[in-house]
Structure 1
Amino acid sequence: MTNARSAELLEQPREAGSPRGFGRVLIANRGEIAVRIIRTLRGLGITSVAVHTPSDATARHVVEADIALQVPKYLDIEAIVAAARDSGAEAVHPGYGFLAENAEFARRCAEAGLVFVGPPPAAIEAMGDKIRAKATVSAAGVPVVPGGAEPGDAIAEWADFPALIKPSAGGGGKGMVLVRSAAELPDAIESARRTARAAFGDATLLIERYVENPRHIEIQVLADTHGNVVHLGERECSLQRRHQKIIEEAPSPFVTPETRARMGAAAVEAARAVGYTGAGTVEFIVDGGTGAYHFMEMNTRLQVEHPVTELVTGLDLVELQLRVAAGERLGFGQDDVRLGGHAVEARVYAEDPARGFLPSGGPVLVLREPATTHPGAGGPAGPGARAVVRVDSGLAEGGVVGSEFDPMLSKVVAWAPDRDTALRALDRALAHTAVLGVVTNIPFLRALAAHPAVVAGELDTGLVERALPELVPGVGVPEEVLAAAALVFHAAPPGSRGGDDPWDVADGWRLGEAAWTTWRLESRDGVHAVQVRGLPEKSAEVRIDGRDVPAAIRANGSGLAVTIGGRTGHYLHARQGDTLWLGRDGDSWAVTRHLIGDPGDRPGAAGAGDGVVRSPMPGTVLLVKAQPGERVSQGQPLVIVEAMKMEHTVTAPHDGVLSELPVKPGQPVGMDAVLAVVAPDTAVTSEEA
């Protein structure tokens, strides 16, 4: 299926672009990476071809591409190959995720006469299988982490703890499970195998000795088809949670020039060992005390964090991928690679840190992203440069963040001549980022980037988990947010004409009598009684839960200026029915008129006193672990919900009988949807009495 614009372009004759022979390139991906690839294609004068599923028909990458074709799924190899042929594309760029490391996809592209912008299928297979990859690089002299693998080793009998279980065909931290004792092993294997089968189509697992609190450092490599292989330095990726990277930087504050040379040489040898071509990343686990490093895996694709390498080298990795795929030489050697300044990247996710980082979702009501800035004379790596901000984003205002794809929304990247300045520039950029309608991790990212250990460069993969209490914002909502919400509702009550604009009321401000109007407002920390009297744009009287709060509100460009007790805050805002979203300094809050009745009836996650078990996130029911009528114990798993490739186990809030189970595997559920009801077990209660 094509849109009118795409159909018009498809009728036009193709023109050979640059790199040589590529006039059209299909992007077999979506979101921010598809938008980022389109940017380079446009700069090279190459026509971009996007693919999209029916639910992604209005996504940003579709709108920005020159041609857009519909496919059933992003994992449908035959449909994507057919789209490439139908569009007249000469090459296919897979981005990362989806089919990027699928050797069969690379083969099908070749069979269809299409250039796959990536390594040969044999290299993908050799490095995509972690078991085979370790054997291959070990034979090339690269140190590896001790471990075992299926089918030759019985990982169920592993006895060296702590240990890490991984899907052999996996990546991105998905399916990895940390095991600290033999008692945890059976459940860990079951969970890892289930995730491996669902995410990668291969349930084979491996197990490795877990190195406590190491640094995670990776080397970017590039190889052409003429035997030239170079590395572009390292990236520090130690700031992780649940094996998922959060903030990355280049260069590493830990790596010395001598260590960089040694690790870089090892990465180059790993790439040569499998006949690698294109851009790839060799990942190492590094002992922060001794500096000893061990090969972990090689990602045979572009990495999410590639922008930090681009900013410190001045190279466009997507352009280099295209040139290598077109048969061109790299044009530079190892001695030509120079690293200048420092770059830091933060991943913005649709997730709620206050709820255990559960995936979130919803419509993008208001979107504000910092403008990309440009360096001074000499470019990012040259003299005279100043701080640079770059945003790689797949978001568009009016779009919807659903639960079927990865929760990463965008990447905010900052470059500066030194690390301290880069971290400060990143913080400012995050503070100027707002996504109203979707809960994000931006406040968490700001807190992490400002943490003393991060500022000092004292990083390891366990730092985030240890510092979580300091980094995760509480569920409390600032009183100025509640006051602002009440003033907006007071100026333009829900149901009045005017929608989102509190000043667009048909008959002006409603003064009424000198009496209080009470708004019962529900936020993530409960229901509050907020009373308002007077003119909101001047000096309204506001009471929050019985406390007097002097407040005023006025229009301020595209937002609101709210003054509470003499202090003014500037907010973006958007109305969604009875819910008002307010955003400031990268944070956002949803405040809803309370309509349920009693504050105790407010929907919540599992553990409610009434025995109603609700979904903690929008997603799909993956497994049902109990049946109606079954007696269950507090904490017993009842339902597993999956969203954005993350599993969440919902448990029984108390002992009792599972009286209702209105869901089944494969069923989509919304946030706070009822999954089960656990009634008190009266028989047990009477016996105990």
Structure 2
Amino acid sequence: MFSKILIANRGEIAIRVARACKEMGIPSVAVYSETDRNALHPTKTDEAFFIGEGPAADNYLNVEKIIAVAKECGADAIHPGYGFLAENAPFARACDEAGITFIGPPASAIDAMGSKTKARELMQAAGVPIVPGTTEAVDTYEDALRIANDEIGFPVAVKAASGGGGKGFRVALTEDKLKDAFEGASREGEKFFSDGTVYLERYLPEPRHVEIQILADKHGNCIHLGERDCSIQRRHQKLIEESPAPEWIVDEEMRQRIGKIGIDAAKAVDYVGAGTIEGMLQGDEYFFLEMNTRVQVEHCVTEMTTGIDIVKQGIKAAAGEPLDYKQEDIVLRGHAIECRINAESAARNFAPAPGPIGHYKEPSGPGVRVDSGVQAYGEVSPMYDPMVSKLIVWDADRASATQRMLRALDEYEIEGLETLIPFHKALLSTDDWAKGSICKDLVEDKEWLKSTAPEKVERFEKDDEDEKVTKDYFVEVNGKRFDVKVTGEAFSGAVAAGPAPKGGGTKKRGERKKAAGGGPDLLESPLQGNMWKVLAKQGDEVTEGQLICIIEAMKMENEITAHKAGTISELMIEEGAPINAGAPIAMITAAAAEAPAE
């Protein structure tokens, strides 16, 4: 077994891995960026190392820095969690070259499954059913048009070959929409994955997104842990997951059939560790979609229904140990549901809503689990994804689990942030959810989404304290973190404060300034992010709902539209520049009425 594991990630997944290491008696090491100096995850490991300022590319995605820290601290294994470097084959190879074990599949498996076109070709050869479409890249729009008309038909999905998480995925319902879909998918592929290659698939209008959890070791053993239904999504990103799928959707015969598909897919690439085969279920047809060569965000619901610690099994497999289970040992008991508690405003079409947190209290009680990366007086940073936590519940059946989830959502207390809690409570109370619908009509209904808005969300502000208190701080010595306790008046000195204990430790957040001339003519930014694209210019006449710009925030593109018809008399934004929530975007003035004739 490993002597020390470095966790190359942040937030709740870093804490999840650290807990598994603790229970296995393995020392763990965290890394953290400048943004995460006050984060929770560095406090949950035995050691923590600072890895730099700036965006993730300069720290969490910097292979050289991660490897250097692992060597410095003496870690003989690295766990990548999910996201960041988790599905990065060059990183896995760099670990091997440095004599460090990558806790995950071999780089060859990541390569094979990282390219959607290559994966489709491999799966087809292995007898795994794939969605009808191309197994090779489509180079030009003209080629795409010919293939769509002659071989696939409309509607057609255009997908980035290296895409994932909803990025690089566009749909052309009709022929006249194909050019925009082709160019958009290619552009997003280049932007997010440095690969503008795309391919085409038959678009399945309302399939269920059903995935299979796989565990495999280096001794040829491979098992599945049943399915998860992840059909409730927005912009192809998951919101609610459950295990197993509703029994009227996936029966035992279907479970065994798709489980075999998952095992066949994993064996085709000599997989090792924890992984997920994602698929689309349309009626009785099940199609391979992609393989996530890592632990999934939603692995928790499978752990709740099988009793198996997926993270520990992945660590053991990487260390060369055989799986602790055989297929006949796997029994699904009860029902588990996971709600992603994101700092987002469902009422504003899921716009990210990062910011500082005030009072914070997680739900508890029978059958309730919370995997979180925050605490009271922490912050959800716009630098990363908007997840606050994952709320997971278990009960004897789906209806009981739903009621338990509603109870847990009621108990959750988060001051200062707008989150998806009201959305989850509203959706889980609908007949659509009770019937096992994918709830697409609700999630895409902007008027219904507006009805889930909380009554009031006040941004958290904290006054400086004068009384003496004892607080936790940390200091860095040559990049390594040491925790200390200080008793005295609260101060904002040169030492960076660690995660604050209950009752304080957060900088005061000032009020944002309103733009001059604010009023019904002013269009403001609903979120903080980066001005990715400006599609209007000063002097343009626009209609209500017309696209003005696209703001990139927390890995998502957010379309900002005109709130009224009129003329853009002033445009205050610049493409590529950062923008804060509440910052002015444009002044849109209605045409002046003509003066009456004398």
Q: Same fold (TM over 0.5)?
A: yes
Are the aligned partners of 1:162 and 1:178 in contact in 2 as well (CA < 8 Å)? Answer: yes
* 1:71-220 mapped onto 2 (5 Å cutoff): 71-72=51-52, 73-148=59-134, 149-151=136-138, 154-157=143-146, 158-159=148-149, 160-220=153-213
Pick aligned residue for 2:552 from 628, 638, 642: 642
Match of 2:486 in 1: none
Shift of 1:197: 2.1
Deviations 1:601-621 (A, max 9, x none): 996xxxx742x3321211111
* 1:89-488 mapped onto 2 (5 Å cutoff): 89-148=75-134, 149-151=136-138, 154-157=143-146, 158-159=148-149, 160-253=153-246, 254-288=249-283, 291-371=284-364, 373=365, 387-456=366-435, 458-460=436-438, 462=440, 464-465=442-443, 469-470=447-448, 472-473=450-451, 475=453, 477=455
Pick aligned residue for 1:619 from 519, 522, 529: 529
1:443/1:653 CA distance change after superposition, 3 Å: closer
Shift of 1:402: 2.1
Shift of 1:240: 1.5
Deviations 1:548-589 (A, max 9, x none): xxxxxxxxxx99xxxxxxxxxxxxxx998899xxxxxxxxxx
Deviations 1:490-515 (A, max 9, x none): xxxx999999xxxxxxxxxxxxxxxx
Shift of 1:63: 2.0
Are the aligned partners of 1:167 and 1:175 in contact in 2 as well (CA < 8 Å)? Answer: yes
- Letter of the aligned partner of 1:238 in structure 2? S
Shift of 1:470: 4.7
Shift of 1:417: 2.0
* 1:562-577 mapped onto 2 (5 Å cutoff): none
Match of 2:493 in 1: none
Shift of 1:230: 0.7
Are the aligned partners of 1:365 and 1:436 in contact in 2 as well (CA < 8 Å)? Answer: yes
Are the aligned partners of 2:275 and 2:291 in contact in 1 as well (CA < 8 Å)? Answer: yes
Deviations 1:386-415 (A, max 9, x none): x41100001122222122211121100011
1:71/1:476 CA distance change after superposition, 3 Å: closer
Are the aligned partners of 2:77 and 2:103 in contact in 1 as well (CA < 8 Å)? Answer: yes
SS in 2 for 1:195: helix
Specify every segment of 5 or more residues in structure 2 that has no aligned partner in the other structure, as ranges. 53-58, 467-501
Shift of 1:260: 0.8
Deviations 1:222-255 (A, max 9, x none): 1101111111111111111221111111111121
Deviations 1:332-379 (A, max 9, x none): 2111111111111111111111111111011111111113x5xxxxxx
Distance (Å, rounded) in 2 between the aligned partners of 1:637 and 1:272: 46
Distance (Å, rounded) in 1 between the aligned partners of 2:462 and 2:25: 50
Shift of 1:422: 1.4
- Letter of the aligned partner of 2:271 in structure 1? Y
- Letter of the aligned partner of 2:222 in structure 1? V
Are the aligned partners of 2:443 and 2:449 in contact in 1 as well (CA < 8 Å)? Answer: no
State the identity as a percent. 43
Distance (Å, rounded) in 2 between the aligned partners of 1:668 and 1:422: 42
Distance (Å, rounded) in 1 between the aligned partners of 2:125 and 2:98: 35
Residues 1:673 and 2:583 are matched in the alignment = yes
1:638/1:219 CA distance change after superposition, 3 Å: same
SS in 2 for 1:239: strand
SS in 1 for 2:313: helix
Are the aligned partners of 2:354 and 2:381 in contact in 1 as well (CA < 8 Å)? Answer: yes
Pick aligned residue for 2:45 from 49, 62, 65: 65
Distance (Å, rounded) in 1 between the aligned partners of 2:449 and 2:545: 27
Shift of 1:447: 1.6
SS in 2 for 1:36: helix
Distance (Å, rounded) in 2 between the aligned partners of 1:67 and 1:651: 47
Shift of 1:206: 2.1
Distance (Å, rounded) in 1 between the aligned partners of 2:573 and 2:73: 42
Distance (Å, rounded) in 1 between the aligned partners of 2:507 and 2:36: 24
Distance (Å, rounded) in 1 between the aligned partners of 2:169 and 2:102: 29
TM superposition score normalised by structure 1: 0.73
Distance (Å, rounded) in 2 between the aligned partners of 1:335 and 1:62: 39
Q: Which moved more, 1:149-158 or 1:659-668?
A: 149-158
Shift of 1:287: 1.4
SS in 2 for 1:622: strand
Are the aligned partners of 2:537 and 2:568 in contact in 1 as well (CA < 8 Å)? Answer: yes
Deviations 1:398-450 (A, max 9, x none): 22212221112110001112222211111111111122111001011112222
Match of 2:18 in 1: 38
1:620/1:187 CA distance change after superposition, 3 Å: same
1:637/1:310 CA distance change after superposition, 3 Å: same
SS in 2 for 1:248: strand
Are the aligned partners of 2:313 and 2:324 in contact in 1 as well (CA < 8 Å)? Answer: no
SS in 2 for 1:55: coil
Rg comparison, structure with higher value: 1
SS in 1 for 2:167: coil
Across the aligned residues of Structure 1 and Structure 2, the Cα RMSD in angstroms comes to 3.1
Deviations 1:72-91 (A, max 9, x none): 32111111111111111111
Distance (Å, rounded) in 2 between the aligned partners of 1:655 and 1:469: 20
- Letter of the aligned partner of 2:275 in structure 1? G
Distance (Å, rounded) in 2 between the aligned partners of 1:646 and 1:27: 25
Tell which has more relative contact order, 1 or 2 (C-alpha 8 A, sep 6+).
Answer: 2
TM superposition score normalised by structure 2: 0.84
Are the aligned partners of 2:464 and 2:508 in contact in 1 as well (CA < 8 Å)? Answer: no
Specify every segment of 5 or more residues in structure 1 that has no aligned partner in the other structure, as ranges. 1-19, 374-386, 486-493, 500-557, 560-573, 580-591
* 1:43-54 mapped onto 2 (5 Å cutoff): 43-54=23-34
Distance (Å, rounded) in 1 between the aligned partners of 2:585 and 2:96: 47
Are the aligned partners of 2:345 and 2:453 in contact in 1 as well (CA < 8 Å)? Answer: no
Match of 1:661 in 2: 571
SS in 2 for 1:176: strand
The count of corresponding residues between Structure 1 and Structure 2 is 541
Deviations 1:187-207 (A, max 9, x none): 223332232222222222222
Distance (Å, rounded) in 2 between the aligned partners of 1:40 and 1:472: 40
SS in 2 for 1:276: coil
Shift of 1:676: 2.8
- Letter of the aligned partner of 1:662 in structure 2? M
Deviations 1:472-523 (A, max 9, x none): 535583xxx79xx9xxxxxxxx999999xxxxxxxxxxxxxxxxxxxxxxxx
- Letter of the aligned partner of 2:443 in structure 1? E
SS in 2 for 1:147: coil
